[in-house]
Structure 1
C-alpha cells in the first residue's frame, strides 16, 4: 500500500501488538499526526494483518460529534447481541445510552465498565482488534468510555488503536501510549510517485512537506503537460498552503468531475453520521437520485458500499463532499435527513439536523435541542448536553431564554469537568439578568471558573454577593449558593470569610457546623455535626451537603464516618456524571484513607483523581491531589517524587491563595524532611503550613509532626503551645485518634517521669488501629524505653512498629525502627521481614486477592476494580503461586496469617 511507504517501524509495532494478543496480552495505542500523514492507512494495515481476528471499527464524523454515545453505538453494532451477556446494571446502562430503552445512565463508570466487558466478551476464544479512526471527531462520551476501557485492558487479547489528527481542538484521547507519525523524507516520498521528472518530483515533495497523501493527491492532480515537466510558477505557488488544504483541493477537484446526481448522493452521505445506506437513500430520494448514482463515486474509489452500509475511503473525502456543496444544498441535505429520521431512536439526531438546517432564530428547533440537552444530561453525557444547550441558545429569539440556555450550557460543561469551556460560555453573558433564579445559576458558573483558575476567596465572594442580591426573591437558592461559597472559603483557609458565610445561617446544619467549630463552640459544633451526618444519609440529601459533611467529619477526626460519606460523594459523582466534582470527592476520600492507614486505597484514589483533573485541565483540584500523592511518597521515602509533587502543588496553591492546599503541600514536604532525619527543615515547613490555614482547627493534624520535629531539632519550646491546643481539642472532641496523638505529644515534650504514662495511654487510644500513626507512636515509645535502658520492653513496641512500616512500605521509618531494634541487641533479618507472601503481590493483585477472599466472583471483582473478568482471572493465576495456594478457598487463611 502506497500510504505505508516508510512506515516499517510502525508496522512492526502493530504486528507485535497482534502477536502479543494471541497469547492473551492486551494493548492500546494512539497514533497521531497531521491530516493525510497515514494514520488511516496504518489502521487499514492492522485490519489486513488481523487474520482470524474479529475487527470492530468506527470513524469519527465532525458534524456528528455532539451525538452522545453515537460513536460507541456504531462501533458495537456488529456485537449488539453480546449485551445480553453483560451483568444486569451494565447491560441496562448500555441500552439506555444507545437509546434502546427509556432508562437513564446513572453512572458513567458503569458505561466504561460495560465497554470493557463487551470487548472482553467479543474476543470469544480468539482475539479482537478495535480501530477508532478520527477519534477527535467522535463524541466525548464515546471517547471517554473507550479510553476508560483501553487503559484497563490487560489479559483479554484485545488490541485497541486510536487515530487522532493533530491540531484539532477536540482531540481528547489521553493517557495511552502514543505514536506520532512524522513526514516522509525525500527518498521515501519519491517512492510514492515514481516516474515524475526530477524537477516536478522536487516541487511536489517540497509542496507536500513529507505528507504522503498530499504527495499522492498533488501528483494525481497534475495535467499531462505538468507531469512532463512544463510546470508554471502559478500551478504550484511558492507560498504553499498547509498540506491539508492541498489535499482538500485535490479531493474537491475529483468530486467536481463527478455527475451532479452523484455529488448530491455524496452530500447526503457526508451529512449523515450513521453510515446506514438505507437511511441515506431515503433522504437522497428527495433530490430525485438513486443508488445507481453512487456508481461513479464507487468506481473512483471515493466510497465503499456493502449491503447495508456506506463508508468514505478517507475522512477528508467526506469533508470535501460536504464543503463543496453550496450552503443551500447543505441545508437541504440536513432537512432531508431530519424528515427521514422520524423514529424515537433518531430523535436527538433529528434535532441536530434541524439545527444544522436553521438559518436564523427558531424557537421550535431550540426547544427540541433543549430536550436533547436534558436527554444527554440524563445519560451523563454532559459535554453533549452543554453543546445542545449552547446551540439552542444560538437559535433562541427571546433574550432572557437565550441567557438561561447559555448558563445551562456553562453549568453542564462544568459538571463535565470543562471549566475552561464554562468560562468561555459565561463570558457570552454581558447584559444584566432580570430573573433571580437565572442570576443565581450565573453566579455559580462564574464561581466555578474563579475557583478553577483564580482564587477561592474571590469565588466565595461572587456567590455571597449574589446571595445578598437575590435572597429575598429566591430564598430557595440560598442553600446552594452558600454551600458552594463555604466550600470555596474552606479551600482558601480564610477563617474570617468562613465565619462570615457560616454566620448567615440560611444554610441550616451545613452552615451551623462550621459556624460553631470555627467560632469556638466545639461541643456545639460536634453535636450539630451528628445531626448533619444523619441528614445527609437520607436519599434526597444535596451533593454539596454530603461533601461538606464528609469534610467536617475528617476535620474532627471521625475518619470512619468521613470515609463512608466521602465514598458516597464519589459514588454520587459517578452515578450522575458530574466529572467536574469527582476529583474533589476522590481527594477527600484519599485523605481519609491516608488517615486510616489504608495507603494502597489512598494511592489508588489519589491517582485516579489526579488523572481526571489533569485530563480535564482542572489545575485547582490537581494541586490538592498532588499533595496527597506527595504525602504518600514522603511516607515511602521517595524523596524525588515527594519533593516534585509537593513543590508543584505549593507553587500553584501559593500563587492562587489556596491556603488549605498550600498547608497540605508544606505538610508533605515537612514529613519528607522528618522521615529523612532533617528535623530543622521539617520544623520550618510545618510551622509555615500552620500559618497558611488561618485557624487552629485545620492545623491540628500538623501538630504531632511539628512537635516531633521541634523536639528532634532541640526546640521543644516551639511545640508547647501547639501541643496544648491539641490536648484541649482532644478533651473536647473525645475522639480516640486525637487523644492518642495528644498523649504522644505530651510524652515527647514533658518530663521523663511522666512520659511512660502518656505513651502507654497513647498506645491504648490507638487500640484497634494498625496504621501509620499507631506505628509511629510505637516507634517513639520504643525509642524512649531504649534510652531508659529498658531494652526488653522496647523490643515489643519496636517490632510492632517495624512490621507496620514494612507492610506500608514506609522505608525511612522502617530503617529507623530497624536501627532502634538492633540497638536493643536483637538480630533483625531484613530479608525475612520484607519477604512476606502478601508483599510479593503487586498492588492490583493484592486488591483482586482481597476481594476474591470474600467470595466475590470474577465478574463482581471486575465491576469493583474497573477491570475485565479476564484480567481478574489473570491476576489470580499469577497470585496463587506467589501465595502458595491452589484455590480461592485458601485465600482467607493466607490473608489472616501474618506474613
Structure 2
C-alpha cells in the first residue's frame, strides 16, 4: 500500500492505460533516497500484471557501473529469444551486448535503435512495462541505449519508467518527462506511522516526524534505531542521528546503527557483499571463506531483515543498507574484502555469474570485475594491477563501453609508477571520455597530460580531442589555435602528411566557425603548402572541407555529392562522431538545390545525433539551418525559437558563423513577410558576425533586397561590390544569377533607372538559373521580383506570366509567405485569386518525421529498413504511414512514388 501518492499513482496509471491502446510513454521518477521511487515502480508492475501485460526489470548496481551492458543484460535476458525478427545489424549488436555471441557491440545509435526495436517486438504481444530502478548506478552503455530508446517511443505500447536518485549523477537521464517525489503530507505521515509503527510514544513520534521530513523510508527506519525504552519515551532525550542534514543521511546512520549491533563475522560477510553488490551468493561465500566466515554467519543479518537470501542471491533491503555497511567499515577491512573477492573471481567457474557462458564473453566480464576489485584493494602503485585495468579498458572499448573504458584507463594510470605509461593511459582515458561525450571530464583529463611526452600519433589524437572539447565547451578560435599548434609539431615528423592534412582541415573548419578572416587565412595558407598527395579527399575532415568549399563557391552539386558520400560512409563505417557535421553539410546542399523536404530530414537527424553526443557546437548550426527552413515556410514561431536557441549558444562561445546563419534565418523570415526594415537589421547583424568575404557571400543577395525594399539604396553599394567579387571568383551559374538579380534590383531602385537594363539583368538572372542546376526557391524569387517590377512598369501581361510562375514554385515548395506575396501582386493586376486556390503540395500537410518516412517508403524501403535508418521502431514507422496516407489522399504505399514525383522539393 502506498501512502499519500494518489496523484503520482494516477500519472503512472495514465501511461499504462495509454499503453493498452498501443501508445508509448516514458517517465523519470526522481527524488531523494527512500522517498518511494521503488514503491511507485512496484505499483506500476502490479497494475501491468493485473492487465496481463509484461514487465521487464533492471536495477543499477553501483559496483557494476563500469561493466558495459550489465543493466541491459538484466532487462533483456528473458526475451533474448525475440531478437530474430530485428534487422541483422541490430540483432547482432544486441546479442553481443547480452553476451550471447562474441565480438563487439554496435555503436551508440545502433544499440539504442536495437533496444527500441527489441522492446517493440516484445510489445507486439501486448503492453510492455520496462522498469529501470536506481538508474544512477546503471552502467553508461546500458543507460545510453535505454534513454535513446525511451526518447523515441511512439506507437509501440511500451512504457519505460526510470527511478533516479537526486544528487547522484542527477543528469544521468535527460530529455524525458520527470515526476519529482517529495515528502508525504502530514495526513499520510500520521496514517503510515499509525499503521506500521503503532508502539511509538507521542514524544518519539514527534521526533521521528520532525527528522524524517515526510520521507517514507525514514519514517519506517528511524524507529528501528531506537531501543524499546526510547520507542516508549521512557529515556530522554530520544537518541536519534544528530547533525545530519537530509533524511537520506539520517536513514543511512540508522542502518549503520543496526549493522553495528550485528556479530563481527556477520558484519564481515555484509561488507564483502557490499563491496561486490552483484548479488552472487556463490561468489560471496567463496570470498568470505578467505576471511574466516560461513553461510551461517549471515543469519543475524537475515533475521534483522537487512538482507534477503535465496538459493543463489543476496539482496540488500535498500541500497542505503549496502552504502551504510561499506562506508562504516575501516579501510583495512574494505581492502581485505576486495582482495578476497578478486581471489574468488580468479578461480570462479565459467557460467555461474548469471547466464551460461558462450565463448569468452562471461570470462571477460569476470576478468573485468576481478580487475576492479584488485584496483580497489591496491592503495599505492602496482604494475600488474595496472596491466589488468588496462586490459579491462580495452575490453570495454571493444564492447563500445566508452565511459567504462575511460574510467578503467584512468584507474590504470593511477596504478602505474611509469611516467610514460601514465601519460599514455591518461591520453587513452581522455580519448574514450570524448567518445562517450563526457567533455568536462575530457578537459580535466587532458589538463593532467604531459603532451610533450607523447609520440606524434598520440599527440595528434590528443590535440584533436582537445579541439573537439574546445568547440563544444569553449570557442572555435581556441580550437583552431590548438590544431594549428599541433600541425606545427607534426609537420617535422616523417610520414605524417595525412595526419597534417586532416588536422589542418579541422583547423580551417574551426577558423571558419569563428568567422575571423585572419584565422581563416592562416589555416588556408598552411593547407596550400601541403604536399599534393595530401590534398583534401582522403578522410572525413578533408572531404567535409572540400564539400564546404564547393558550397561557398556556389557549386552546390559538388557540395551535395561530397556531403552525401560522407553521410553514406559515416553510416557504413559507424563513424557517428562525424555524422552531425556531414548531415549539416548535406542539409545545406539539399536546401541550395531545392530539396527542402530532404534538407529538413537531414538537419533533424543531425540535430538528434548532435544532442545525443553532446555536440553543442554542431547542434547550434543545425538549429540555424532548421530555422532557415522554417522561415521559408513562414513558421515564425519555430523559426524564432530555433534561431534564438542558436544565438543563445553561439554568442557566448564565439561561434560567429552559426550566429550569422541564425540572424539570416530571422532576416529571411522578415523579408518573406514584407517587414523590410526588420529584415535589413537582422541581415546586417548577420553580415557583421563574419569578416571573411566568402563566408558572408550567401547572405548578400538577401541583404541587398532588404536594403532596396526598405528604401535604403545607399546601403547596397558595399554589399554589391562584395557580391560582384564573389560571383566572379566562384564562376558558377548560381552565383551569376544572384548577381544579375541584385543588379536589377539596385538599378530599378535608381530614380533615373534604365528600364532596358533592369529587364536585361532580370532576364540574365533567369537564364543563369536555368543554365546551371535548378534552384527553385531562388528562381522563384527572381520571377517574383521581376513580376513586381513589370507590374509597376504597367506591363501587366508580362507581369502575370512571371507572377504565376513564382506562385506555382512557392506553393509547390510550401514557401507560404513568398506565395502570399506573389498572390497579392496577381490580385493587384486583377487576377481572381484567393488563398483557397493554392496548389500547395500535400506533403506540406505532414510532420517532418512523416515526410521522411514517406520519402523512404516511396523509394521502396520496408518498414524495418526505414526504422533502422531513422532510429525508430518498425511499429512507429507503420504508425506514421497510417497517419500520412489520409493526409496525402492515398490508400497504398504503391501510390507514393508518383505523388513524390509531383511534389519534389516541398518544404
Normalised by the size of structure 2, how large is the TM-score?
0.88
Give CA-to-partner distance per residue, 1:790-835, whole Å, 9 cap, x none: 3344344434433443455433323222212222322224235277
Distance 2:523 2:530 in 1: 12
Distance 1:572 1:173, change over 3 A: farther
Which residue number in structure 1 is paired with residue 27 of structure 2?
Answer: 29
Which residue number in structure 2 is paired with residue 161 of structure 1?
Answer: 161
Distance 1:116 1:707 in 2: 49
Which residue number in structure 1 is paired with residue 89 of structure 2?
Answer: 89
- Pick the aligned partner of 2:7 from 9, 29, 52: 9
Which residue number in structure 1 is paired with residue 822 of structure 2?
Answer: 817
Which residue number in structure 1 is paired with residue 590 of structure 2?
Answer: 593
Distance 2:318 2:574 in 1: 34
Give CA-to-partner distance per residue, 1:415-447, whole Å, 9 cap, x none: 332221111112223686365555444444443
Distance 1:509 1:665 in 2: 37
Report deviation, 1:71: 1.3
Distance 1:574 1:315 in 2: 41
Distance 2:256 2:439 in 1: 38
Q: Matches of residues 398-797 of structure 1 in structure 2 within 5 Å?
A: 398-429=418-449, 433=453, 435-469=455-489, 471-473=491-493, 476=496, 477-505=499-527, 508=530, 532=536, 536=537, 541-570=538-567, 581-610=578-607, 613=610, 618-650=615-647, 652-750=649-747, 751-767=754-770, 769=774, 771-797=776-802
Distance 1:274 1:604 in 2: 44
Report deviation, 1:138: 1.0
Distance 1:682 1:231, change over 3 A: farther
Distance 1:497 1:180 in 2: 48
Aligned to 2:84, what secondary structure does the other structure show? helix
Distance 1:163 1:806, change over 3 A: farther
Distance 1:117 1:187 in 2: 45
Which residue number in structure 2 is paired with residue 351 of structure 1?
Answer: 371
Whether the aligned pair in 2 keeps the contact of 1:127 and 1:157 (CA below 8 Å) is yes
Distance 1:284 1:406 in 2: 35
Which residue number in structure 2 is paired with residue 227 of structure 1?
Answer: 231
Distance 1:807 1:280 in 2: 70
Structure 1 alignment gaps of length 5 or more: 513-530
Whether the aligned pair in 1 keeps the contact of 2:53 and 2:126 (CA below 8 Å) is yes
Deviates more, 1:12-21 or 1:845-854: 845-854
- Pick the aligned partner of 2:255 from 237, 251, 256: 251
Whether the aligned pair in 2 keeps the contact of 1:653 and 1:659 (CA below 8 Å) is yes
Whether the aligned pair in 2 keeps the contact of 1:282 and 1:340 (CA below 8 Å) is no
Whether the aligned pair in 1 keeps the contact of 2:796 and 2:829 (CA below 8 Å) is yes
Q: Over the residues paired in the alignment, what is the CA RMSD in angstroms? A: 3.1
Distance 1:687 1:393 in 2: 52
Distance 1:631 1:821 in 2: 26
Give CA-to-partner distance per residue, 1:196-233, whole Å, 9 cap, x none: 33332222122112211112111232222222224534
Give CA-to-partner distance per residue, 1:668-691, whole Å, 9 cap, x none: 232233233232342243234334
Deviates more, 1:479-488 or 1:20-29: 479-488
Give CA-to-partner distance per residue, 1:576-628, whole Å, 9 cap, x none: 77666554444333333333334444444444544555566554334333322
Report deviation, 1:30: 0.9
Which residue number in structure 1 is paired with residue 357 of structure 2?
Answer: none
Give CA-to-partner distance per residue, 1:120-162, whole Å, 9 cap, x none: 1112421111000111111222111111111211111111101
Report deviation, 1:90: 0.9
Whether the aligned pair in 2 keeps the contact of 1:414 and 1:580 (CA below 8 Å) is no
Whether the aligned pair in 1 keeps the contact of 2:29 and 2:179 (CA below 8 Å) is yes
Which residue number in structure 2 is paired with residue 519 of structure 1?
Answer: none
Distance 1:808 1:363, change over 3 A: farther
Distance 1:692 1:836 in 2: 36
Distance 1:238 1:274 in 2: 32
Give CA-to-partner distance per residue, 1:485-536, whole Å, 9 cap, x none: 2222121222222222332348747999xxxxxxxxxxxxxxxxxx74xxx3
Which residue number in structure 2 is paired with residue 890 of structure 1?
Answer: 895
Distance 1:543 1:896, change over 3 A: closer
Which residue number in structure 2 is paired with residue 20 of structure 1?
Answer: 18
Distance 1:542 1:351, change over 3 A: farther
- Pick the aligned partner of 1:330 from 321, 334, 337: 337
Distance 1:795 1:321, change over 3 A: farther
Which residue number in structure 1 is paired with residue 849 of structure 2?
Answer: 844
Whether the aligned pair in 1 keeps the contact of 2:854 and 2:881 (CA below 8 Å) is yes
Which residue number in structure 1 is paired with residue 391 of structure 2?
Answer: 371
Whether the aligned pair in 2 keeps the contact of 1:510 and 1:549 (CA below 8 Å) is no
Whether the aligned pair in 2 keeps the contact of 1:117 and 1:868 (CA below 8 Å) is yes
Distance 1:803 1:207, change over 3 A: farther
Normalised by the size of structure 1, how large is the TM-score?
0.89
- Pick the aligned partner of 1:40 from 10, 32, 38: 38
Deviates more, 1:613-622 or 1:356-365: 613-622
- Pick the aligned partner of 2:860 from 848, 855, 861: 855
Which residue number in structure 2 is paired with residue 148 of structure 1?
Answer: 148
Whether the aligned pair in 1 keeps the contact of 2:790 and 2:799 (CA below 8 Å) is yes
Q: Is 2:888 the counterpart of 1:866?
A: no
Aligned to 1:32, what secondary structure does the other structure show? strand
Report deviation, 1:289: 5.4
Report deviation, 1:748: 1.7
Whether the aligned pair in 1 keeps the contact of 2:335 and 2:376 (CA below 8 Å) is no
Q: Matches of residues 92-171 of structure 1 in structure 2 within 5 Å?
A: 92-105=92-105, 107-169=107-169, 171=171
Whether the aligned pair in 2 keeps the contact of 1:417 and 1:580 (CA below 8 Å) is no
Aligned to 2:437, what secondary structure does the other structure show? coil
Distance 1:168 1:560, change over 3 A: farther
Give CA-to-partner distance per residue, 1:530-563, whole Å, 9 cap, x none: x74xxx3xxxx32322332232232223334433
Whether the aligned pair in 2 keeps the contact of 1:276 and 1:308 (CA below 8 Å) is yes
Distance 1:576 1:296, change over 3 A: farther
Whether the aligned pair in 2 keeps the contact of 1:82 and 1:121 (CA below 8 Å) is yes
Report deviation, 1:11: 0.8
Distance 1:759 1:884, change over 3 A: same
Distance 1:350 1:166 in 2: 30
Distance 1:644 1:796, change over 3 A: same
Distance 1:420 1:117 in 2: 32
Distance 2:895 2:761 in 1: 42
Distance 2:416 2:368 in 1: 18
Structure 2 alignment gaps of length 5 or more: 351-359, 748-753
Give CA-to-partner distance per residue, 1:668-723, whole Å, 9 cap, x none: 23223323323234224323433432221111101110111121122334334533
Give CA-to-partner distance per residue, 1:333-366, whole Å, 9 cap, x none: 4314532457532233333333233332122222
Distance 1:204 1:782, change over 3 A: same
Whether the aligned pair in 2 keeps the contact of 1:366 and 1:395 (CA below 8 Å) is yes
Whether the aligned pair in 2 keeps the contact of 1:416 and 1:578 (CA below 8 Å) is no
